């Protein structure tokens, strides 16, 4: 089996991050780019996207398959059946700290660069020239962006990097002993 014949890594990563969230007592959310193939309550779609709580408490009969994410949930007290093609998921993250993973936008978004969703950062929404280069270099399924919480922005490679020294001229730091 060649790399192009292999299955997408996206559903496996979604399942892994879902499990990580639940194991750590966090609430897994998925951001979905909505089109006609997505079955969600349209009244909750904003700017062509919807964010769904896929936690055990918020869903019933959740199935994280290779092709679709399926579950039942209540929206405004009304039960709904949700069906999301895995390829339409643009991110999965923990509500409490924002840690998770963003995926490249679906192919239809790459063809219309001016229609990039607002939820994607500049790093996740490449320019048209970068998109063409990246499309040649790797399939869209294999380009992944990791979301990092704001509080983690000073860390590098998962370790604690020292914070930069404070600006000169301020008050001298002092050590206070607490008993």
pLDDT in tens, 149-162: 555 444 444 455 55
CA distance 117 to 121: 9
- Per-residue pLDDT at 106: 79
- Per-residue pLDDT at 154: 47
Asked whether the predicted pLDDT for residue 16 surpasses 50, the reply is: yes
The pair of three-digit structure tokens given for residue 65, joined into one six-digit string: 């398959």
- Per-residue pLDDT at 178: 65
- Per-residue pLDDT at 92: 96
CA distance 108 to 99: 26
CA distance 16 to 14: 5
Dihedral angle of Cα 82, 89, 140, 127, to the nearest 10 degrees: 130
- Per-residue pLDDT at 169: 54
pTM, 2 dp: 0.61
Which of 1-15, 63-77, 113-127, 147-161 is predicted least confidently? Answer: 113-127
Architecture of domain 10-149: Roll (2.30)
Asked whether the predicted pLDDT for residue 128 surpasses 70, the reply is: no
Asked whether the predicted pLDDT for residue 166 surpasses 80, the reply is: no
What is the average pLDDT score of the chain? 75
Could you report the per-residue pLDDT of 35-93, keeping only the tens digit for each?
999 999 999 999 999 999 999 999 999 999 999 999 999 999 999 999 999 999 999 99
């Amino acid at each position: 089996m060649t790399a192009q014949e292999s299955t997408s890594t996206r559903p496996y990563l979604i399942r892994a991050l879902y499990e990580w969230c639940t194991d750590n007592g966090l609430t897994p959310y998925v951001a979905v780019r909505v089109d006609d193939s997505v079955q969600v309550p349209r009244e909750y779609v904003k700017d062509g996207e919807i964010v769904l709580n896929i936690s055990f408490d918020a869903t019933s009969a959740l199935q994280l398959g290779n092709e679709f994410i399926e579950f039942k949930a209540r929206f405004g007290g009304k039960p709904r059946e949700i069906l999301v093609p895995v390829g339409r998921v643009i991110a999965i993250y923990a509500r409490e700290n924002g840690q998770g993973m963003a995926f490249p936008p679906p192919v239809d978004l790459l063809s219309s660069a001016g229609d990039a969703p607002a939820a994607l950062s500049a790093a996740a929404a490449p320019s048209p020239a970068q998109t063409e280069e990246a499309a040649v270099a790797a399939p869209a399924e294999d380009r992944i962006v990791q979301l990092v919480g704001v509080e983690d922005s000073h860390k590098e490679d998962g370790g604690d990097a020292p914070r930069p020294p404070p600006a000169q001229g301020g008050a001298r730091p002092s050590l206070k002993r607490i008993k």
